[in-house]
Every structure is written in C-alpha cells, then in structure tokens.
Copies of this chain bind each other. A is one copy, B any other.
Amino acid sequence: MSLLIAGTMAFDAIETPFGKTDKIVGGSATYAAWSASQFTHTIKQISIIGGDFPEEEIAALKAKGVQFDGVEQIQDEKSFFWSGRYHMDMNTRDTLITDLNVLEKFNPQLPDSYQDCEFLMLGNLMPSLQTQIIQQLKNRPKLIIMDTMNFWMDIAMDDLKKTIGMVDLLMVNDGEARQLSGEYSLVKAAQKIMDMGPKFLIIKKGEHGALLFHANHVFFAPALPLEEVFDPTGAGDTFAGGFIGHLARTKDISYNNMKTAIIIGSAMASFVVEKFGAQRLKEISKEDIAKRLNQFVDLVNFDIDIE
C-alpha cells in the first residue's frame, strides 16, 4: 500500500526581502515528497521533468523511499520553471517568470505498480490532469486530497469543480476559499465548498495558521511565530506532505487524527521557510521534529476550568 503524490518537480528562482537564489529545485511534488518521507517510506511520485532535472535530487529522494516509475523525463526539454518575488509580508508575491516547458506535455499515465495506492495527494496541477489521475486508479484510494490555486478558478472553474467533487479533502488558501465560494466569511465559505463534495476542507492562512473544517466542526492549527521567515516557497506543499505523510503512516483518516496531522504539517512548514528551497527538510532529524511539535503543544495548550 502506498502514498501517491502528483504535482510539479521543477526549478524556482526566488527573491525575498532577505535574499535571492539562482535556479534551485522546487515544485509541489518535490516539497511534498521531502516532507512526507519523514513519516512514510512508500511514496510514489507522479510528475514530469526535463533532462535538466538534477540526478542528485532524484537519487536523494530515492534514498528516502520515493519511487519514480510515474515520473516522465523528457531528456531534450527543460523542467518547469517559476520565478517570483515576495513582498515584505511574505504572504503575497509577484510572479516574474512562468516557463511551462515539459509541463505543457504532461499526460500522466500511472504504471501498474501505482495501483496499490491507498493515499493520493494531488498537488496543484491543471484540474483535468488531477481528474485523469483519479480516473486511472482501479480502486478508489482510502483518501484523496487535493491542492489547487486561484489561477484555475479564473480559467477552468467547471473542470475544477468536477475534480473537487471527486476528492475527500480540499486544501486552499483563504483568498481562494473566498473566490471559490463567493463568500467572505470563511465559515460560510467552508460550508459552500463542502457542499461541492469534499467532506473535509483545509483553509491555509500562511503565517496566521490553518483551519480544518468537517461537517459542523472546526479545528485551528496555528503557525509557529518565527523570528525570520526566509523563504515561504513550498510551505503549502510541505504542509500537505506532512499532513498526508502522518495519515499514511497511521492509516487513520478520522477527523481527530487529521487534527494531529494538520499540526504535523504546520511543524514541517515551519522548518521549510527557514532556508531557501527544501534544504531544511533534508537536514532535520526525528528529534528536531519532535522538539518542534512540543513547541506547538506549548503554543496552544491551556487549562480551563469551565464553571
């Protein structure tokens, strides 16, 4: 039984108020796999890369148990490239360059070895591709989660709603939840989005934490207040990877276990923003994660004696 992660494996060039990088490895599936690999060791990637994607990155991920049978590599072409500049608040950014490159040819074909999928994470991709991946699975996974972005709401809302209707859990940020639902109140937005199909909804609020909605329940996971956010790129994908990595490890998809999973995702996100790229995810140990989780416990734990 395995965790499938679909998304981009790409290059980014990032500017923040605190520094800038040349092209570094990025992509939603890359961040998610690094994060999830801290918790589970049968991860199968679905992506497309060019001949320029570094062998060392592939080898390093393989060493963590990440399989590449579902990653198409086109040797003569370039990997997807994104470049952006973050504003001072690190929550908003301007896209400087988007070179789709191989992504234009992405036509995911799942190998037979991927049919044991128990957990499916659909990173941000064109909704019709996300649907195509779901449809190729002969047995429905135990849990399908998807990420998406406002871009698809602008240009492919019907396709997007179709995909949303097929998944168990949708993950969007606050602005996207408002755009998707047409409601300003996140509580109202959550109800409308869950009416579209997903039984669970996570609304990410960046430095302000994340909300998990299910039926008439709501759970809030804070973001850890940090001295410095160095590079927020990949924070959402890292969060998603930690979230589904924990669920895949425990094989428990209850609302209660999702609360734990969202805290774990938040802890992983709090690491990735400390350096450019996925560097921190490669460095940290189980002990680092346990220590960080304790900080989350201290952050929100209180005693109350309700009269």
Q: Which of A203-227 contact B (CB under 8 A)?
A: 205, 208-209, 211, 217-222, 225-227
Given contacts A217-B298, A222-B220, whether A88 and B184 have CB atoms under 8 Å apart is yes
**Chain A window 24-52, contacts with chain B (Cβ cutoff 8 Å), 1 for yes, 0 for no:** 00000000000000000000000000000
Q: Which of A268-304 contact B (CB under 8 A)?
A: 286, 290, 293-294, 296-304
| Cβ contact within 8 Å between B219 and A300 | yes
A228 proximity list for chain B (CB < 8 A): 185
Determine if A142 is an interface residue (Cβ-Cβ < 8 Å). no
Measured between alpha carbons, how far is A300 from B305 in the docked complex, in Å? 16
| Cβ contact within 8 Å between A304 and B299 | no
Determine if A171 is an interface residue (Cβ-Cβ < 8 Å). no
User: Which of B205, B221, B260, B303 is within 8 Å of A256, CB to CB?
Assistant: B303
Shortest distance in angstroms between A245's beta carbon and chain B's nearest beta carbon? 13
Given contacts A211-B225, A225-B211, whether A302 and B219 have CB atoms under 8 Å apart is yes
Determine if A263 is an interface residue (Cβ-Cβ < 8 Å). yes
A260 proximity list for chain B (CB < 8 A): 302-305
Measured between alpha carbons, how far is A277 from B221 in the docked complex, in Å? 30
Determine if A307 is an interface residue (Cβ-Cβ < 8 Å). yes
Determine if A23 is an interface residue (Cβ-Cβ < 8 Å). no
A251 proximity list for chain B (CB < 8 A): none
Residue ranges of A at the interface with B (Cβ–Cβ < 8 Å)? 88, 184-188, 205, 208-209, 211, 217-222, 225-229, 256, 259-260, 263-264, 286, 290, 293-294, 296-307
Task: Show 30 residue pairs from A and B whose CB-CB distance is below 8 angstroms, ordered by the A residue.
Answer: A88-B184, A185-B227, A186-B225, A187-B225, A188-B227, A205-B208, A208-B208, A208-B209, A217-B298, A218-B225, A218-B299, A219-B298, A219-B299, A219-B300, A220-B222, A220-B225, A220-B300, A221-B302, A259-B301, A259-B302, A260-B303, A260-B304, A260-B305, A263-B304, A286-B307, A293-B304, A294-B306, A297-B304, A297-B306, A300-B300
